A = this chain, B = another copy of it.
Amino acid sequence: MTQAPSRTALLDDPQLRPFLPLLFIAWSDGDLEPAEFAAFEDHIKEMPWLRPAARIALQAWLDPKQPPSHKEMDTLFETIGKVASNLDVDHQRDLVELGMSFAPMGTPSDDIRRALVQLEEAICGSLGPAEPLLRRVRAGRELGQEVTASGVSVPPPFDVATMRAVLDGDQAKVRDEVRRFLDDPEKRAYGLPVKDYRAKVAGWLEALADAGLGTRAYPGVTSEEKDLNAFVATFETLAMGDLSLLVRFGVQFGLFGGSIFFLGTDAQRREHLARIARLELPGCFAMSEVGHGSDVQSLETEAHWDAATRTFVIHTPSESSRKDWVGGAAQHARMATVFANLTVGSEKQGIHAFLVPIRDAEGELLPNVRAGDSGHKMGLNGVDNGRLWFDHVRVPESAMLGRFARMTEDGRYESPIDNPKRRFFTMLGTLVGGRVSVASASVTAAKVGLAIAVRYATARRQFGSDDGVEMPLLAYPTHQRRLLPKLATTYVLSFAVAGLRRRFASDQRASLEASARGDRTIPDTRETEAFAAALKALASWHGVETVEQCRQACGGQGYLSVNRLPELRADVDVFTTFEGDNTVLLQLVAKSLLAGFKKRFESNALAGVVRQVMSKAHTAVTEKNVIVVRRTDSEHLRDRGFHLAALRYREERLLETVSGRLRKRLAAKKDPQEAMLDVQEHLVALALAHADRIALSWFDEGATSCQDDALRGWLDKLGALHALTLLRRDATFYIQEGYFDSHKESAMREETERLMKELTPAAVALVDAFGIPDATLAAPIAFMDPAHPRWP
């Protein structure tokens, strides 16, 4: 308690001020030994001209047991910075000159100069000239690195545990359970032969099932969960680990079991789900055919109702209709949910799902079922993707999943949904969980990549100056530009997928409750489906791009499998393709937006037009007025209201213009399909604009409800960096629209740079808050090489 005043006194004592730079350097390097401090003390004793109070203060600053706090170093640094900025470069480089410039004018300075020279030799002799060290320390401090006697540490500028709690949200317990499961060096694999890798993943999946994590997939049947929130959060968190395990988990419990949970009757659920949750019945989900990837409406596999035997005959009529890429089909699955075109008599009833046994308990293929291996893949080689052919395989009546279709006793087909197309899309709709899950897991993959790359960027030093003092990579603006906007977007999308998950879980819960009540109304979940498609595309592209940036940002180390990024990069790539190709999904999103727009427009034609005009006028008045178009102050540029309005404006304008272009073509009697083709790129742009707007709104919901002011401040910075990055990407659009001018765009660029500078010292804490288990990250030895003395 007595030290604080004497330490602070140093800052103002004219005898002591010249020592400030030296002290700062001494502490900031952090690897000075107690012996060196002792030498320092000896020198102090040889300075009889020091007043006793000054001597005590100086010694207090040198006590190895009492390293200065972050705050004290801050104060020191600021004080030095103020003086140093008045010096020219040469004087900045010379620690003695720098110190002398702190001596008040007119004080006798010979003693002081002599003392500084001695001390500099004693302490800094081996460290080289002062200026590069100062620069290095400055760079370290820009990264939030704190200097203590034991080395350099990075004190988090906020409470990491609280931030993690905010990110984990309502599913913290579930996530921590998964984290504990993954935090085990045995749960990593790379470079293994396919056979061994598959066996390893199969073992992990068994362990997950044994731990009961599969039961969460069927709330009310195999678990007490009220809805699917816990299951999706489990999946999202599992993506911190091996993605082959993730995919096998998703196929077994989500796709295969989920098909029964969502499309089956109560009896079918009771019969199968408990065994599926325990992995006693390993299964697969046979929807995609080699000739029909994202276009599931064109599936060719046939199911014929044989009235005489009350069986269905499942058949693969052509090579293009072989089921392909089916996870689990090559090796592990014993049953498949097969999607096939049902024919009853002469009538086609559209695509339905059938439970078809494919292997016996010994794993031998059943008669008339042929299976093949999809072969070696870019990634996910722990998943046994395979092909299936059916040669008139007979399954009993009970094999057809019966929530939306059944055969009557007199052999007629019956469904609560008359229109076969609507029936199919209703069935598909219940399977939207796959897209919700992939969107969530994509964000997790980005988190893993960033956790590796950001930590590396603060530890790894390269270049700097001719005098051999190297700078941490994250001190370079180009490196910040690589990682920080991706980090910001990852935070935004983390909240966005949480919003999506909650909407999905609540939809499904309502639908299942209605079904349990015997209510045969089919709930309309199309809005959630469109959200899921939009965010799946947005998040999976973000995941792929982020992991790629992280790989490149780690240089040669990022190319080594031991450091995790290579397998993560290869595995996550297919997220843009499976559960619906992104470009295809975005067109579905756009069509759904167009349908809504048309309804809005047609519901009351005149009123609609009036509303449109009013809304346009409103936009013009509130957003496009001259002041807003040109406003460039920080407060405005960081204002989420501004960001949201701009994203909403873009979405609305693209919707208006694409709709106009379509109307014009249809009015000219153009074929509707060709008209859609004409505007296809416009549709994709619209869907992405929608996804961007939704993501930021849901981030806004989450960030605004955060009760901790300090954390909210960091979230706001992240949100602003993300939003300004988007707005600048589309700057040409906004300038063309007169929404902002090019002067404002320049201000946005500068604001982006300021935000990156502010976020840099928090970067490590921000990735720590993701809570990625250490064992799933890069091997620390290969990465950091603690043997290297220069790496902290």
Contacts and interface: CB of A to CB of B under 8 A. Distances in A.
A71 interface: no
Contacts of A583: 478-479, 482
Nearest to A567: B378
Contacts of A462: 292-295
A635 to B, nearest CB: 23
Interface string A676-715: 0110110010000000000000000000000000000000
For chain A, which range describes its interface: under 10, 10 to 19, 20 to 34, or 35 or more residues? 35 or more
A669 B88 contact: yes
B746 A378 contact: no
Contacts of A324: 556
Nearest to A680: B477
B556 A288 contact: yes
Report copies per complex: 2
Nearest to A743: B736
Contacts of A736: 742-743, 745-746
A578 B561 contact: no
Nearest to A288: B556
A790 B574 CA distance: 26
A190 interface: yes
Interface residues of A, dominant DSSP = helix
A551 interface: yes
A592 interface: no
A570 interface: yes
B377 A671 contact: no
Interface string A744-766: 01100000010000000000000
B561 A788 contact: no
* Residue from A131, A482, A559, A746 whose CB has the most chain B CB atoms within 10 Å: A559
Given A465-B673, A468-B298, A566-B570, A377 B559 contact: yes
Contact of A378 (B464, B561, B745, B789): B561
27 contacts: A89-B671, A92-B671, A135-B673, A190-B376, A191-B376, A290-B788, A293-B555, A318-B789, A319-B785, A319-B787, A320-B788, A375-B561, A375-B782, A377-B560, A377-B561, A377-B566, A378-B560, A378-B561, A475-B677, A548-B573, A552-B573, A558-B577, A559-B574, A731-B731, A731-B732, A732-B742, A735-B742
Interface of A: 87-89, 92, 131, 135, 190-191, 193-194, 288, 290-295, 298, 318-320, 324-325, 374-379, 381, 462-465, 468, 470, 475-479, 481-482, 544, 548, 551-552, 555-556, 558-562, 565-566, 569-570, 573-574, 576-578, 581-584, 587, 669-674, 677-678, 680-681, 684, 728, 731-732, 735-736, 742-743, 745-746, 753, 782, 785, 787-791
Given A375-B782, A735-B742, A736-B746, 10 more contacts: A135-B673, A191-B194, A191-B375, A191-B381, A291-B788, A294-B462, A295-B463, A320-B790, A320-B791, A378-B559
